Amino acid sequence: MSFFKKFFKSVIHDRDPGDDTVTVKGKPKPKYYGTVAPYPNFNASSDASVLQAAIDSKDVDEDVIISVLVKRNNEQRQKIKVVYEASSGERLDKALKSALRSDLEDVSLALLMTPAHFDAYLLRSATKGFGTHEDVLVEVLATRSNQEIRELKRVFKEEYDKDLEEVIKDETSGDFTTALLAMLKAEKDESTEVDIDLARREAETLFEAGENTKGVDISAFIDILTKRSGKQLSKTFQQYACLSDVTLPKALDMELRGDIEDCMIDIVKCAWSKPAFFAEKLHLAMKGHGTCEETLIRVLVSRSEVDLQKIIEEYRAMYDNSLQEHILMDTKGHYEAVLLGLCGAH
């Protein structure tokens, strides 16, 4: 089922997000929906030695490298990097770059970056060279928390000696730039409370700014869609459906064009369901001829310690097939093994 068929069926009903907490020692703690967990009995020195032996062997032992990288969480990988450099005198990322090739090299290097460094790298890659990858800019900025965006901006400046805002201004234009800069402010409401009166008022504002006027007041859309929480926006979408004969995504499709249309629709999708948004991204990356390796690596690495379990469940619900089965059909060899490992198949 396509994202919007599902969206059209569900947006006018209350969406029960389920209980995302468990009780540990009497205190509520968020449930973990990642597929990569901390490795028990972790020993950074032992892992560094194992990796060094696998890299230095006559035929590089990719299986060993993969099994270490996908069974350790990011925090543990950072510790391995420190010990590896101290014991071998060489940086682990440089050693892997020399030892591995192609897609396996790309995913391994991505796994060695901290989440903020990986995000900064993604946005740098998306804005560098000919053409800008607008969808990547929106994906990262629409799905990260305020704190993650602040950290990403700090690392971007540190790594590339440029302010991310300035790069965005140089590489994009018009309303699309305005929307990206609004997301970069990291001022999205992150409370879980929903204000029904506000949802009603803002649904009316969006209706008046789009369908009910000649032309479009895009600033109203940017302001509301970039500042409200996903739960609040979901309620606004339900209220919008009471005012209009079409859903908000359909209205955006009718009223807007180009990058700003894609941007607003992606924000709507993320607000309604991040796992469904990412499931659709992965599906499109493997649909038809050829595979978009960058998308597979980007999504599986960045969500492996966040919500990849939910994305896998959503993928099956939307496409009547498992994500792992599609990876098996579309990839091969060690690259396939590392992707399946990130999906939790050890």
How far, in Å, are 171, 224, 258 from residue 248 at the CA level? 28, 13, 17
135-162 mean pLDDT: 98
254-301 residue pLDDT tens: 889 999 999 999 999 999 999 999 999 999 999 987 789 999 999 999
| pLDDT for the residue 22 | 55
CATH code of 190-266, in short, is: 1.10.220.10
Please determine, for residue 200, whether its predicted confidence score (pLDDT) is greater than 90.
yes
| pLDDT for the residue 11 | 45
Q: How far apart are CA 205 and CA 199, in angstroms?
A: 10
| pLDDT for the residue 2 | 60
230-244 residue pLDDT tens: 999 999 999 999 999
Q: How far apart are CA 74 and CA 38, in angstroms?
A: 8
Residues in the chain, total: 346
| pLDDT for the residue 214 | 76
Indicate the domain borders of the chain.
Answer: 44-112, 115-184, 190-266, 274-342
| Closest to 68 measured CA to CA, from 343, 339, 338 | 338
What is the pTM (predicted TM-score) of this model?
0.92
| pLDDT for the residue 14 | 45
Q: Which residue has the higher pLDDT, 4 or 192?
A: 192
274-342: CATH superfamily: Annexin (1.10.220.10)
What mean pLDDT, rounded, does the chain reach? 91
332-341 mean pLDDT: 96
Please determine, for residue 21, whether its predicted confidence score (pLDDT) is greater than 70.
no
Candidate from 110-114, 156-160, 209-213 with smallest mean pLDDT: 209-213
**CB burial readout 277-305, b (16+ within 10 A) else e:** bbbbbbbebbeeeebebbbbbbbbbbbbb
119-123 mean pLDDT: 98
CATH code of 115-184, in short, is: 1.10.220.10
44-112 and 190-266, same CATH topology: yes
| Residue 212: pLDDT band with limits 50, 70, 90 | confident
| pLDDT for the residue 115 | 98
64-74 mean pLDDT: 97
The dihedrals phi and psi of 18, each to the nearest 5 degrees, come to 80, 170
**Does the domain made of 44-112 have the CATH classification 1.10.220.10?**
yes
45-54 mean pLDDT: 97
66-89 mean pLDDT: 97
Pairing of strands 21-24, 27-30: antiparallel
> Is 260:174 a contact under the CB 8 Å cutoff?
yes
3-19 residue pLDDT tens: 656 655 544 444 444 45
Q: How far apart are CA 234 and CA 299, in angstroms?
A: 23
Q: How far apart are CA 273 and CA 148, in angstroms?
A: 19
| pLDDT for the residue 131 | 74
| pLDDT for the residue 29 | 72
| pLDDT for the residue 30 | 81
Please determine, for residue 25, whether its predicted confidence score (pLDDT) is greater than 70.
no
> Cα Rg for the chain, rounded, in angstroms?
21
